[in-house]
Amino acid sequence: VSDGRRILVCDDEPQILRALRVILRDAGFEVITAASAEEALDTSAVHPPDAAIVDLVLPDGDGVDVTRSIREWSEMPILVLSAVGEEAEKIRALDAGADDYVTKPFGPGELVARLNAVLRRAAGDRDEPTIVVDELELDLAAHSVALAGRPIHLTPTEYELLRTLIGSRGRLMTHSTLLREVWGPAYEDDTPLLRAHVANLRRKIEPEPSKPRYVTTDPGIGYRFAA
Amino acid sequence: MRDHFRMSRRREHSPVVGLAVAVASVAAITAVNYGLRELAPPVSTGVVYLLAVLLVSSYWGLGLGLVTGFLSAAAFNFSHIPPTGEFHVADAGNWVALGVLLIAAGVTSTLAHAARERAEEAEARRREADLTTEMARLLLGGSSMEDSLRAAGRRIAAVFGLESVTVELSWIDSGSREKALPLVVDGDRIGTVMVPKDADPASLEAIRDRVLPALETLVAAARRRAELESQVIETRALRRSDAVQKSLLRAVSHDFRSPLTAITAAVRGLRSGTLSDEARGELTSIAASETERLTRMVENLLDLSRLQAGGAAPRASSCSLEEIVRAAADACPEPDAGFDIAMDDHLPALNCDAAQLERAVANVLENSARFAGDRPVTVRARAAGAWLTLRVSDQGPGIARDELERIFEPFQRSLERPSGGSGLGLAIARGFVEANGGRLRAESVPGKGSTFVFQLPASRDARPDPRVPDRALT
């Protein structure tokens, strides 16, 4: 998947930049680096990368601002690097359009896997009439869902929730993003409502609802549909 | 209280003077009336004597007022009532006039006396209120309880005209010359008020019944205030140590994460079988340099806790500043444009803990290197009297005036330019320099750069020797 893809890495720690350059090159990516928000925006405007990895804390701004600026003109996948305890910042970055986050310190394996996942999501055809993920099949035209060939009855809300999650599969969607897209802006803070519907959805589509395989949880942040 | 003030009034207006005033005023009125005898009927001029009665009874009381009344009646009879020149009344109608004068004098005297009593009582209340206000100011004013009570005692003594009144925060028994009055606050006897035994009973009663209860209430309020104050101070101290702990946690969680992230990525990246030799070397060097950085951070934390616990007693010995600076420069990552070190020859030796000073200089060099950009960090040293001055300058962004001192506080990283430092280096540097009898401060022209100035005491028995170049030491 990764051959020749160009990745922008933005971090103010030169040693982290150095390590990521070596690791991503080893994984087959082309790497461009930036040490500040300004440099990241300049570089990505001149040579638009296929994806960006942005540190949340930058000397001249934060990763949220970089994400928001990139989203003004590009749908490229964005991964943010964050630290434990920066939950609020992570959510702000995700709401600003970041696809996922990786918590420091991280291993190269985890980073490359996340990067490939968001790149796959970006490559997916948005207009495909039928989405098939493992045994789950979603027919967007017929508004029907089937698991291992057997039709599943979903309420309209559950269907909308699944469609939203699957439409951005691989991407971590925050509680407020999901609530806004499925229920509307007035419901943005109603996390218990979302939690209840996710539980119902899992009971219907997950082979083992207690160990979800399709809809996974990022505690305190949101849900994602496994890519 | 009222009695007390009346007594003090009597001391002011002696009865002998009162009697003299009575006689003199009656004589004066008689003389005036005698002059008026052709113009006014004698009976009507008797009224004028009431002025004398009013004057005397206002100042010397009812008794002398009545005496003045009788004197007036006698003088009136003698000089105006026929037959004049003798104490005899011929006409029965004039007896009535004389009787009316006497009754009017009595009534005037009584009324004047009552008015004076009321004025005195009001005056006594005012002074009592003043005393209470004064005691409140003393006790709630913020100085120590002992001092305030001592001053309150002096004020009570002054108001009651007593030789001395002392307030002690202990349980004292009456002595041969002093009477002990207990001071009770919230049900506890917290002290004793000592008053002279020979004080007049009225003053004693006033102090016991009026002044002491006020004093007790004030002491209770002062004690509650002191309690609250100490609680506030305690809370503030707790909050401060809480803030330091939070900063420490933040420093540990944030600052340690950067090298940890680089190390984790590099070391796990090394597992990949597809790495080129060059990439492998790069990852290895990242892991090594970041491990060193982590080590320095841990050392900094330990240094800081030692300095804060006062456990960093320097082991002083004669040492060379140049050696210290060179070692410090070797120990920290070089800036892009390098260190430019030039020291005066013949610098006197220092008498200090070389290891501590090296850490201090290294921390300052590391800080300057971080902000130097592509310009070199210059290091200059020279001797001036009993001091050696070391200046470390960068041409970086500089430091705002109001941050020049704050950067030496732990965890005070510049807000505008997060630097990747731990926020501890400068605090530790100053701590070590001061522990060795020196001083460290920052100077800056924002936009042009910063200079850190060390002032270090030269060793007393190592004055510069012009024949021996300093280089010989190195």
CB A90 within 8 Å of CB A82: yes
Is pLDDT of A16 > 80? yes
Chain A interface includes B289 (CB < 8 A): yes
Nearest C-alpha in B relative to A103: B261
Q: Tell me whether residues A15 and B262 touch, CB distance under 8 A.
A: yes
User: How many other β-carbons are positioned within 10 Å of the β-carbon of residue B326?
Assistant: 18
Please report, for residues A82, A92, A168, A223, the alpha-carbon distance to residue A190 in angstroms, rounded to integers and kept in the order given.
25, 17, 21, 15
The predicted pLDDT at position B389 comes to 93
The predicted pLDDT at position B420 comes to 53
Chain A interface includes B275 (CB < 8 A): yes
Chain A interface includes B335 (CB < 8 A): no
Chain A interface includes B246 (CB < 8 A): no
What is d(CA A59, CA A52) in angstroms, rounded to the nearest whole number? Answer: 18
- Name which of A12, A17, A18 to mutate to probe chain B: the one with the most chain B Cβ atoms within 10 A of its Cβ: A18
Please report, for residues A90, B247, B262, the alpha-carbon distance to residue A87 in angstroms, rounded to integers and kept in the order given.
5, 18, 21
Nearest C-alpha in A relative to B414: A59
Nearest C-alpha in B relative to A26: B275
- Mean pLDDT, residues A11-36: 92
Would you give per-residue pLDDT tens digits along chain B (474 residues)?
A: 444 443 444 445 688 888 898 889 888 888 888 887 777 776 677 788 888 888 888 888 888 888 888 888 888 888 877 777 777 777 777 778 778 888 888 888 888 888 888 888 888 878 888 888 888 888 887 677 888 888 888 888 888 888 888 888 888 888 888 888 888 887 888 888 888 888 888 788 888 888 888 888 888 888 888 888 888 888 887 777 776 666 666 666 667 888 899 999 999 999 888 888 999 999 999 999 899 888 878 887 888 777 877 767 788 888 889 999 998 998 777 888 889 998 887 888 888 888 889 989 999 998 898 888 889 999 999 888 888 999 999 998 888 888 888 888 876 654 444 455 667 788 889 988 988 889 999 999 988 899 999 999 888 665 444 444 444 333
User: How many other β-carbons are positioned within 10 Å of the β-carbon of residue B78?
Assistant: 15
pLDDT digits (tens, 9 = 90+) for A192-227: 999 999 999 999 999 888 899 999 998 889 999 986
Nearest C-alpha in B relative to A14: B262
The predicted pLDDT at position A162 comes to 93
How distant is the Cα of B271 from the closest Cα of chain A, in angstroms?
10
Q: Tell me whether residues A105 and B261 touch, CB distance under 8 A.
A: yes
How distant is the Cα of A7 from the closest Cα of chain B, in angstroms?
17
Q: What is the mean pLDDT of chain B?
A: 82
How distant is the Cα of A83 from the closest Cα of chain B, in angstroms?
7
The predicted pLDDT at position B267 comes to 92
Structure tokens at B343: 């020291």
pLDDT digits (tens, 9 = 90+) for A122-176: 776 566 678 888 888 888 888 889 988 899 999 989 999 998 998 888 889 999 9
CB B215 within 8 Å of CB B192: no
What is d(CA B162, CA B6) in angstroms, rounded to the nearest whole number? Answer: 16
Q: What angle do CA B117, B119, B122 make, to 5 degrees?
A: 110
Please report, for residues A133, A198, B6, the alpha-carbon distance to residue A156 in angstroms, rounded to integers and kept in the order given.
20, 13, 99
What is d(CA B45, CA B437) in angstroms, rounded to the nearest whole number? Answer: 97
Go through chain A and tell me how many residues it has: 227
Amino acid of residue B423: G
How distant is the Cα of A62 from the closest Cα of chain B, in angstroms?
12
How distant is the Cα of B350 from the closest Cα of chain A, in angstroms?
38
Residue in the structure block whose two tokens are 């909308």: A160
User: How many other β-carbons are positioned within 10 Å of the β-carbon of residue B256?
Assistant: 17
Nearest to B364 by CA among B402, B318, B324: B324
Q: Which DSSP state fits B153?
A: H
Q: Tell me whether residues B263 and A105 touch, CB distance under 8 A.
A: yes
The predicted pLDDT at position B416 comes to 43
How many Cβ pairs within 8 Å bridge chains A and B? Answer: 74
In degrees and rounded to multiples of 5, residue A139 shows phi and psi of: -100, 105
Share of chain A above pLDDT 90, in %: 46
Torsional sign, CA B457, B459, B463, B467: negative
Q: Tell me whether residues A84 and B290 touch, CB distance under 8 A.
A: no
Q: Tell me whether residues B265 and A107 touch, CB distance under 8 A.
A: yes
H, E, C per residue of A23-34: HHHHCCCEEEEE
What is d(CA B43, CA B130) in angstroms, rounded to the nearest whole number? Answer: 50
How distant is the Cα of B264 from the closest Cα of chain A, in angstroms?
6
pLDDT digits (tens, 9 = 90+) for A40-64: 999 988 889 999 999 988 878 888 9
What is d(CA B407, CA A97) in angstroms, rounded to the nearest whole number? Answer: 37
Q: In terms of pLDDT, which residue wins out, B145 or A71?
A: A71
Nearest C-alpha in B relative to A107: B265
Structure tokens at B241: 């140590």
Which residues in chain B have their CB less than 8 angstroms from residue A105's CB? 257, 260-261, 263-265
What is d(CA B375, CA B361) in angstroms, rounded to the nearest whole number? Answer: 19
Q: Tell me whether residues A107 and B268 touch, CB distance under 8 A.
A: yes
Which residues in chain A have their CB less than 8 angstroms from residue B262's CB? 13, 15-16, 18-19
Q: Tell me whether residues B258 and A15 touch, CB distance under 8 A.
A: yes
Nearest C-alpha in B relative to A28: B274
Determine the angle formed by the axes of helices A63-71 and A37-46, rounding to 10 degrees: 20
In degrees and rounded to multiples of 5, residue B60 shows phi and psi of: -115, 5
